[in-house]
Structure 1
Amino acid sequence: MTYLTPLRWMDTVMTASTEPTDKRSLRRAFVASLSGTTLEYYDFAAYSVAAATLFGKLFFPSGDSLAGTMAAFSTYAVGYLARPLGGFIFGRLGDKLGRKQVLVFTLLLTGIATFLIGVLPTHAAIGGWAAVLLVALRFAQGVGVGGEWGGAVLLSSEFGDPKKRGFWASAAQIGPPAGNLLANGVIALLAAVMTTAAFESWGWRIAFLLSGVLVLFGLWLRMKLEETPVFKKIAEQGEKPKAPLKEVFTREPRALIAGILIRICPDVLYSLFTVFVLTYMTSELGMSRSQGLTAVMIGSAFQLFLMPAAGALSDRVSRRKLYAIGTIAAGIWPFLFFPLAGTKSYLAIAVGMVVALAIHALLYGPQAAMITEQFSERLRYTGSSLAYTLAGVVGGAVAPLIFTALLDAYDSWLAVALYVLVTAIVTGIGVALSRRAPEDEPVVTSAETVEVAR
């Protein structure tokens, strides 16, 4: 079975629907899912890079560069801490009102917040209010992203064949490396063509202002979409949940716990090799900012192809076994990467980052399908969003802060690597708790219980 050949007519779109879906709807859903998450992660990645390299001295100036970086990373964490609120609000609405409407709101929220960061005065202009406003806009970014992921995954997967769910759901997963590549590329280009003084004064703002153009493109795509066949079927049967949040916590707690744990290690691994590594290369290895950004871009470029490939592979083999293999590799690789980085060979570091992000792709590609299929279809937006966002709080949100604190306390990369290993063990527990993907899932009604297949 081939996944990257031209799309075929399908007898069913998801197991809840028996109506055929045409190629155009399927392609639109895939592109809309991909473009929306790319935009939102462009916004998130632009902030991540700026936090690691600029925002410490622009918004949190102090005599201690480490303190400034820690403060900037704190606002990075705010974006993750805000995600559960987005998951609660938009996940609930997605299961009650539909996928399409909610995804328009999340796109607008994140895009506008990012655009405003681009015109925000720095500490030199308005003092402490600059930091307050930056935190507020970062919070708004996080709320938007928290509501985006679950809907974007369902947008593509609910138009596709359930036997190819890993591939179709990976559309949303390609967004982070695509957005990261785009953000790093824009910032690297700006840094290359400008003097350091000009870039730090006003050049960085261009990367955030470009978000406005990307929002318009994303809105155009999403407004042309129809609601997914699965949600239409649920609405026709009168099975939309009245209290989706309550039902997820009371009826599907194991699915929620498994979904949360499954995400933690990939989030921490991604934070290590796309955010913290920039600080490590400049402060510990004495390398330039542009070298770090280029290495991240190379790894992200490979992920664009590895994400859907891993998703498709998970449709052929056991998704749980594939995820377990990726988790083991994620726990081991930092112990090999940091000695490579210690050689200060740019080639060795670039190769090491490509391998690290390839391991992340092995996890992240099938992750969307693996998390969403833990939940019944009528609670899937809420459950998936909660699992995604709550995991981000204990995973990606605090990871750069913990990495920085561990390096400062122990003056050794070994503590950082051990931290990643612990998160890999936690994710391994989540894989053990997860259920196998059923090939046929009827819409679960409010009177039914969800069977956890083992």
Structure 2
Amino acid sequence: MTTNHHGRALSDQQARRRVASAMLVGTTLEWYDFFLYGTAAALIFNKQFFPSLSPAAGTLAAFSTFAVGFVARPIGGLVFGHFGDRVGRRNTLIVSLLMMGIASTLIGVVPNYASIGVWAPVLLVLLRVVQGIGLGGEGAGATLMSMEHAPADKRNLYAGFPQMGTPAGLVLANIVFLTTNALMPSGAFDAWGWRIPFLLSGVLVAVGLAIRLHIEESPSFSKVVSHHKVETFPLREALRVGVVRMGLTLGLMVANSAVAYVFMVFTLSYGTKQLDYNRSFLIVCVSVAAVIWFATIPWWTGVADRSGRRTMFVGGSIALLIWCVLFLPMMNTGSAVLTAVAFLGMGLIIPVTHSVQGAIIADTFPAAVRYSGTSLVLQLGAILGGGLAPIISSALVGESDGSAGVTVYLIAICLISLVSAVILFRRTEPSASATQVDEASAA
């Protein structure tokens, strides 16, 4: 039994659910901020902050500021990972949420290029760096908090709750973006109305902070403290798992990240500028696919808990590769129906591997260094996958004036992840209980 902040007793199950819910809410709000920037970068920022560039160059510059957030994420991962392993998961997650919310709110008041010239994109990039650092601390920490509170037979399920924050944040960002756009007079949204969703972030983060303040510290970290096993330099100890295993784990996750950001961000720019699709139509397609993504994560994590991750992850990787062959050609037909099907297919396939990748990475490391190790892998994977994907895709389209190069790029990165997963699962036991790792680390 444990107690809540009013001193009333909570059952272990209630406490676990409270933590899982708090992690879901917090990650949803942080991803709302992150994806809101991505949508604005695809559709708005080229005109507001890079008006002197051509449309293609302006879009590439806007996506570059989007990528800056990914470059900053390893910094956040290293800093928050260190303190998460030294002083605890809970407090570091509170700080990460505050950083993201404050940065996003300030983006809503940054003057545009017409007002302050080159300082406008400079301020935008600086705030994007703060966003990236905040999210770098969130991804691993939220997964660990939820997973480390879970019963031994449901660790994939609980680790999946923070993963659900990714599509939930995307849907929330797109709903707010679309609603604000629909309610504004013609031209007003592009001129100043885009700021409203960013300003709303301040209110949403206050709600998330109130929830996150009332959860208990991770039992695994508490056990490490009680056994006096806190590491002075946790990242150094995390690296002892070996370069090969770290590399395979990193390779395993890059495809899901890259494909997701092509599907969520790059297609908004490509579809509107190259294929003349309506902006709202594409955002709705992405949002409906994200709802499917969100809804199916508990199913897939349940499958992983019952049957193991190996077959499910490898099968999902193969399905993702096949759908990448079809995805952009279906968009290129100009058919709204085929385009919608292409997006819905992504919504069905992406969660198969995304749902358990956080748990797979976390189970690579013992509890005493798990935050540091997991953060490093997650954030490097995010850069190599999601951070570079929109830029690479935009450059490939600019070179060839078509999407064939992007399709080849997605196939190549899917093959990297598939091969990495097969080799990793042959070298290790993918369903090994993290409880055993925790016990070993505390012994």
* 1:273-422 superposed matches below 5 A: 273-422=263-412
Give the superposition deviation at 1:256: 2.5
Q: How far apart are the structure 2 equivalents of 1:321 and 1:153?
A: 22
Q: What residue ranges of structure 2 are gaps of 5+ in the alignment?
A: 3-9
Q: How far apart are the structure 2 equivalents of 1:405 and 1:65?
A: 13
Give the superposition deviation at 1:25: 1.0
AA partner of residue 161 (structure 1)? P
Match of 1:48 in 2: 38
Match of 2:432 in 1: 438
Give the superposition deviation at 1:317: 2.1
* Matching of residue 170 in structure 1 with residue 164 in structure 2: no
Q: How far apart are the structure 2 equivalents of 1:255 and 1:437?
A: 16
Match of 1:105 in 2: 95
Maintained 8 Å contact 2:156/2:302 = yes
Greater helix share, structure number: 2
Maintained 8 Å contact 1:263/1:391 = yes
More deviation, 124-133/258-267: 258-267
Match of 2:7 in 1: none
* Matching of residue 148 in structure 1 with residue 138 in structure 2: yes
Maintained 8 Å contact 1:298/1:350 = no
Match of 1:259 in 2: 249
Give the superposition deviation at 1:53: 0.3
More deviation, 343-352/197-206: 343-352
Match of 1:3 in 2: none
Report the RMSD for the aligned CA atoms in angstroms. 1.8
Q: 1:182-214: per-residue Cα shift (whole Å, max 9, x none)?
A: 001111111112133110111111100111111
Maintained 8 Å contact 1:241/1:446 = no
Structure 1 residues 348 and 88, CA, compared in 2 at 3 Å: closer, same or farther? same
Q: What residue ranges of structure 1 are gaps of 5+ in the alignment?
A: 1-8, 11-19, 449-454
TM-score w.r.t. length of structure 2 = 0.94
* 1:14-33 superposed matches below 5 A: 22-33=12-23
Maintained 8 Å contact 1:91/1:385 = yes
Maintained 8 Å contact 1:107/1:215 = yes
Structure 1 residues 251 and 319, CA, compared in 2 at 3 Å: closer, same or farther? closer
AA partner of residue 150 (structure 1)? A
Maintained 8 Å contact 1:378/1:444 = no
AA partner of residue 129 (structure 1)? W
Structure 1 residues 369 and 442, CA, compared in 2 at 3 Å: closer, same or farther? closer
Match of 2:415 in 1: 425
Structure 1 residues 156 and 446, CA, compared in 2 at 3 Å: closer, same or farther? closer
Q: How far apart are the structure 2 equivalents of 1:74 and 1:125?
A: 21
AA partner of residue 415 (structure 1)? G
Q: 1:17-58: per-residue Cα shift (whole Å, max 9, x none)?
A: xxx961221111111110111001000010000000000110
Match of 1:270 in 2: 260
Maintained 8 Å contact 1:285/1:344 = yes
Q: 1:237-278: per-residue Cα shift (whole Å, max 9, x none)?
A: 111111111112234434422331122000111011100111
Q: How far apart are the structure 1 equivalents of 2:298 and 2:259?
A: 19
Maintained 8 Å contact 2:366/2:441 = no
Match of 1:15 in 2: none
AA partner of residue 298 (structure 1)? V
Maintained 8 Å contact 1:270/1:357 = no
Q: 1:274-302: per-residue Cα shift (whole Å, max 9, x none)?
A: 00111111011111111111111110111
